[in-house]
Amino acid sequence: MKYKPMKNYKSLLFGLAVIGMNSLSAQNPIVRNQFSADPTARVFNGKVYVFPSHDIPAPEGKGLRKDWFCMADYHVFSSENLTDWTDHGVIVSQNKVAWVDSSSYSMWAPDCIERNGKYYFYFPANKNIAGPNGRKGFGIGVAVADKPEGPYIPQAEPIKGVNGIDPNVLIDKDGQAYLYWSMGNLFVAKLKENMLEIDSEPLAIPDLPQKGLKEGPYVFERKGVYYLTFPHVENKIERLEYAIGDNPMGPFKMTGVIMDESPENCWTNHQSIVQYNNQWYLFYHHNDYSPKFDKNRAIRVDSLFFDADGKIQKVIPTLRGVGVTSASQEIQIDRFSSKSEKGSAIAFLDSLNTFYGWKTILSKDAWIQYNTIDFGQKVLKKIQLKALSENGSTLRIRLDKVDGPVVAEVAIPKGNNWKTVEAKLAKQTTGIHHLVVALKDENPVEIDWVKFE
């Protein structure tokens, strides 16, 4: 995963206007070489930084319990265009924090915030010594850095008076900082100016649903309204809900659902909401790379919108995600925007190593559409595809919509191996367009990626 600067921003805006879109519409999941969960996104120094948990398959006999969450460390990722993400590597690990039980693999959902040029990274983990109540359990620690990427120096002890998971910090407009966390209820306490100690008794936030697990508080302020967002088990698995108030300590009034339960039964979800370049985004997770074990998750991002009265519009999860894809990079059309109901399917390239990604399978009359590709201003001459077709077939490539102009027809030779095939472009294409790949003949085709040169 290498960072590439966004190309040609003006042509992007122009292109979006041309195809009638009012927002940027990265592929999901956004971290593609490791499991990741519980993403807290923050805008620091003009970039988006994401601080997720780092799920791993549990080493035999390790962790809090069998078939459960297992995390030994944290990475941080950043992006300027929300499409290309840089992994800055491990910033905090269970072996390097004095108070953490390094056999617990319990480094759950974190947060990070900037104050006076310092970056405060908050993380929960199991303690290695019992607190004053005689119990070990989860504490919340802080690690401090001069840059968002670190290096982070962990404090020797967890925050006193706080037992729980899923820390989140809000610094209000008057400079007062608040720490939120969960442990059955959702809690809030003021933080001292040093950001390392609480400055008020923990308050269990009232008026929230009493039935069903609540966790993962994330609070933000918009136009004087404080939004308390959190995952809640209304039925069997978590969905993202929110309550609003006019004070960071509440009271908050339950207001709505941000994202429904996963149709694939991923038991947890976990959110953060951030505004970047005039667009709001929801960061969340799903178990894309681990469909059979939902404790190995993958983080995603989709656009989020508000109604005129400040209510959050429900976010429908997408595979396409956000951002602009360059026509000259391998376009993973399996992260589609839409596809034909019949004849189109998505499958792992290698079910034994899901991180190889997915392929698109098209059979009779099928098509698939991938939105918001930047063809740039230079004339591109050909299309390349990595594809395979047992009996040989032809693909028809269109722009913008299912019956849009045809830019190429690509013959896929008969065979059982992946081949890179190419065809000349029949039409000069510049600016931003959607891409439709459709089957022209009847014989099925599998497609790994598409790109333009």
Judged by beta carbon, residue 270 or residue 451, the one nearer ligand FUB is: 270
Instruction: Report phi then psi at 88, rounded to 5.
Output: -85, 5
**Cβ of residue 270: shortest distance to ligand FUB, in angstroms?**
4
Member of 127, 214, 239, 270 binding ligand FUB (CB under 6 A): 270
Residue whose C-alpha is closest to residue 166's, from 204, 124, 126, 198: 124
Burial classification of residue 259, based on how many CB atoms lie within 10 Å of its CB (0-12 exposed, 13-18 middle, 19 or more buried): buried
Sheet arrangement for strand 279-286: 272-276, 279-286, 298-304
If one asks whether residue 239 binds ligand FUB (CB under 6 A), the answer comes out as no
Residues counted in the chain: 453
- How far are the Cα atoms of 153, 217, 273, 287, 309 from residue 230, in angstroms, in the given order? 29, 5, 11, 19, 21
Judged by beta carbon, residue 53 or residue 340, the one nearer ligand FUB is: 53
Separation of CA 449 from chain center = 22
Judged by beta carbon, residue 140 or residue 177, the one nearer ligand FUB is: 140
Encoded one letter per residue, x for contact with ligand FUB by CB under 6 A and - for no contact, window 202-221 reads -------------xx-----
Instruction: Give CA–CA dist 97/156, Å, rounded.
Output: 7
Instruction: Give CA–CA dist 337/435, Å, rounded.
Output: 10
Judged by beta carbon, residue 78 or residue 168, the one nearer ligand FUB is: 168
**Cβ of residue 63: shortest distance to ligand FUB, in angstroms?**
11
Annotated active-site residue 302? The verdict is: no
Per the CB < 8 A criterion, the answer to whether 369 and 435 are in contact is yes
Annotated active-site residue 149? The verdict is: no
Answer positive or negative: Cα dihedral of 25, 28, 33, 39. positive
Encoded one letter per residue, x for contact with ligand FUB by CB under 6 A and - for no contact, window 274-313 reads ----------------------------------------
* Position 436, amino acid: V
If one asks whether residue 259 binds ligand FUB (CB under 6 A), the answer comes out as no
Encoded one letter per residue, x for contact with ligand FUB by CB under 6 A and - for no contact, window 166-185 reads x-------------------
Residue 251, token pair as written in the block: 């009271």
Member of 35, 49, 51, 69 binding ligand FUB (CB under 6 A): 69
Judged by beta carbon, residue 92 or residue 324, the one nearer ligand FUB is: 92
Q: Coil, helix or strand for 63?
A: coil
Q: Which is catalytic among the residues 84, 215, 294, 446?
A: 215
Member of 85, 108, 280, 370 binding ligand FUB (CB under 6 A): 108
Q: Which residues bind ligand FUB (CB under 6 A)?
A: 37-38, 53, 69, 108-109, 165-166, 215-216, 268, 270
Active site residues: 38, 215
